[in-house]
Structure 1
Amino acid sequence: MDVNYQCHLCSHNEVESLEHLFRDCLFATRIWAGSHLGIRAAIHHDMTFQDWIINWISFIHKMSNSDDLIISLLCCIWVIWSARTNAALGDNSISLTGAILIYEEVVARILNAKIIPSRSFDYPARNDDLSNSLKFLQSGNRCKFYGSAYRCDQTCIFVDAAWRDDKITGLGWCVKYQNGSSQSFYKQGLPSLSPDQAEAVAILEALKWASKEKILHVVIYSDCLQLLSQILDLAKPSLNTRLLVADILYLCCLFHCVSFCFIPMKRNKMAHMLAQKAINL
């Protein structure tokens, strides 16, 4: 299999090293310059990326608003990596201006967010152990990120994924609005290593759609208990879902209120049908 080692964000045919991707690439330098930090990344280009970042963190820690600036620094890295990943997967729709706008929105959401703490439970001893955390989810409880109270105008999104042994996945989500109308979406996803990973991709795609539609109050319904317990920090993320769960939590910053609810499979039939339809495309 041919592997492309060149940078996906610029047309200079540079090898995609850590230094080039996160600092020296023209795309990256403009993100740093356009950030709240106003960093001129071209300076000290002879340093490794690790040393460069450590120097900046050490410098930032001397400032009175260091916590906010560290968040800005981390968001820069996340935006660059997200744009790179999308480009590597063939999605070049995010422009430099769009990336900076996403950066500003994410930083603003994080700094202004009011996170409501969820109930804490011990991690389950085994994956098949129906712990207190799973009982908590099954009882219909929910956890809210970035919101102060449940709102009656929240949009409900029912999500499901279908997965085959050949790693092909189908994603489906059904949207129900407060006025009684609904919409259905389905698409074939990238190959996944497990059903939980496929479900995480489905939730991620549904949140991306809701963000693009500027829906600010969302309830996500899923029949995957194990994944929901990981998203709500009630269980340790698995190796297959760790990065996807992190992306889901990042996307929560784009909403005023996000809730996650467990729904039995028999009540999630529409999303399941959509996922099955997508897997056969």
Structure 2
Amino acid sequence: MTRDMNLREWIEEVIRALDQYERVIFMTGCWAIWERRNKAIFEDEEWRSGWVIKRVRNLIVEMEGDGEERGRMGDESLVLGLTGPGEGITTGRGEVVQNGWRCPGVGVVKINVDASLLKDIGVGWGLVCRGEDGMAKWTCAIQVQEKWEPEFAEAMAILHGLIEARRAGEQKIIIETDCQRVINAVKSRKRDRSDISLVYEDIFNACIWFDSVSFCFVCRKLNKVAHRLAHFIHWEPGRRVWGVDVPLDITFLIVADLRNE
């Protein structure tokens, strides 16, 4: 006998059964229903199921990028907004990404990282690795009971990103963070006798694990998935890693990134 599932468990079960393309459609549909529900409750607009279907169709067409609807056997990279390095994104160390979150090129993964100082509790790090389709290959939340300065914690976020990338067998990576000071330090290959310099040295040494590594600064809006993971509400010292079965709220943020919201 199958036990009763709550709504969250049911949605997570559905997501696990879908492929990446179907997840985008499903999550877009959930968002459209929620948007229409809010308009019905707070703006007293009439509920029409046809509006939801039309809204989902239009959003999928927008994500395809050229206003022309494609079927399942069409160009799925366009459905997910795939772009390579170009305007607004560079693969050089210390460059700025500011024109919206973009998927990495074919064969490359992008790892967004962030750190969170949780008052007197400790430090949290959030990492999300995404490939050319923009969906999560893996995500990670790490929490420790330490009290560190912000720059030290942000530098450690990059180091953790490199360590997790090696564990996952990645070879060509782009690291993105919203801490400009740390990116500048990495770009200048900062070395002195401070404690944080040891972290930077570890970052430089870790780069030899990969075929290519790039570091980019992004604004907080473009780093919101890693930011959310860094503030993971279920505090428990240790390391938690998810594959495609990521927490539901993280999936919503990833879909929002693909739509550049």
TM-score by length of 1: 0.44
Normalised by the length of structure 2, the TM-score is 0.47
Structure with the bigger RCO (C-alpha within 8 Å, sep 6+) is 2
Q: Which structure has greater strand proportion?
A: 2
